[in-house]
């Protein structure tokens, strides 16, 4: 059956507005709390104290650099389940994929260093116009191995496939 969201809290606005929301609303009694990456990072202590059922990141590519304030903040949240939505999960390098998966399933792709060694370096080297046949082969093998590992966890939907199901703008 359908689950209805009885209590939705929009946690946005100036620090003063957010103070008022916190005084009126109890996050742990809400079915859904919607906020921004910036507000989450600024008010992290109010989110950290709760064990969330789901943590869903929209525009999840925002955390592609694990060193940013937003990426560090989302990792501090305790949640039973994590989901990430993105139209562009990898924008520049395959290393961005490590950051995204390390949020979703910490350790699944190894440490950042081992990921660079196993996948990043061979894939990058194979893209160089002056690479050797062996480098091209190693890059293809690394890319195939990476695909095999992450593909079961990626659900891709093209706009043309779902356009008829979307509400009008």
Q: What is the dihedral of CA 56, 67, 139, 117, to 10 degrees?
A: -120
Say which residue, 90 or 49, is predicted with more confidence.
49
* CATH code for the domain in which residue 28 is found: 3.40.50.10810
In 3D, which of 79, 84, 31 has the Cα closest to residue 56?
Answer: 84
Whether residue 11 is predicted with pLDDT greater than 70 in this model: the reply is yes
Whether residue 168 is predicted with pLDDT greater than 90 in this model: the reply is no
Same domain as 75, residue 19: yes
**What is the per-residue pLDDT across 57-79, written as a single tens digit (0 to 9) for each?**
999 999 999 999 999 999 999 99
Percent of the chain with pLDDT over 70: 98
Quick one: average pLDDT of 152-165? 83
Quick one: average pLDDT of 127-132? 96
- 165 lies in some domain: no
Domain that holds residue 132: 110-158
Percent of the chain with pLDDT over 90: 78
Same domain as 45, residue 17: yes
Whether residue 1 is predicted with pLDDT greater than 70 in this model: the reply is no
In 3D, which of 41, 53, 109 has the Cα closest to residue 82?
Answer: 53
Helix, strand and coil in the chain, % to nearest 5 = 50, 10, 35
Quick one: average pLDDT of 125-132? 96
Q: How far apart are CA 147 and CA 52, in angstroms?
A: 30
- 121 lies in some domain: yes
Distance from the Cα of residue 79 to its chain's centroid? 13
- 168 lies in some domain: no
Domain count, the chain: 2
Whether residue 31 is predicted with pLDDT greater than 80 in this model: the reply is yes
Q: Which of 34-43, 83-92, 134-143 has the lowest mean pLDDT?
A: 83-92
Same domain as 120, residue 80: no
Whether residue 144 is predicted with pLDDT greater than 70 in this model: the reply is yes
How confident is the model at residue 156, as a pLDDT?
Answer: 82
What residues contact 18, with CB distance under 8 A and at least 6 apart? 11, 12, 39, 43
């Amino acid at each position: 059956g359908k689950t209805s969201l009885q209590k939705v809290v929009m946690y946005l606005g100036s620090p003063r507005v957010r103070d008022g929301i916190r005084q009126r609303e109890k996050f742990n009694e809400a079915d859904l709390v919607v906020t921004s990456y910036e507000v989450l990072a600024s008010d992290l202590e109010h989110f950290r104290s709760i064990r969330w059922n789901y943590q869903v990141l929209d525009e999840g590519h925002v955390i592609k650099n694990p060193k940013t304030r937003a990426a560090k903040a989302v990792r501090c949240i305790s949640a039973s389940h994590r989901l990430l939505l993105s139209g562009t999960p990898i924008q520049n390098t395959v290393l961005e994929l490590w950051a995204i998966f390390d949020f979703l399933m910490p350790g699944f792709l190894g440490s950042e260093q081992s990921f660079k060694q196993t996948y990043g370096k061979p894939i990058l080297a194979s893209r160089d116009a002056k690479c050797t046949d062996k480098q091209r082969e190693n890059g293809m093998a690394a890319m195939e191995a990476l695909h095999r590992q992450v593909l079961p966890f990626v659900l891709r939907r093209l706009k043309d496939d779902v356009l008829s199901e979307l509400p009008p703008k």
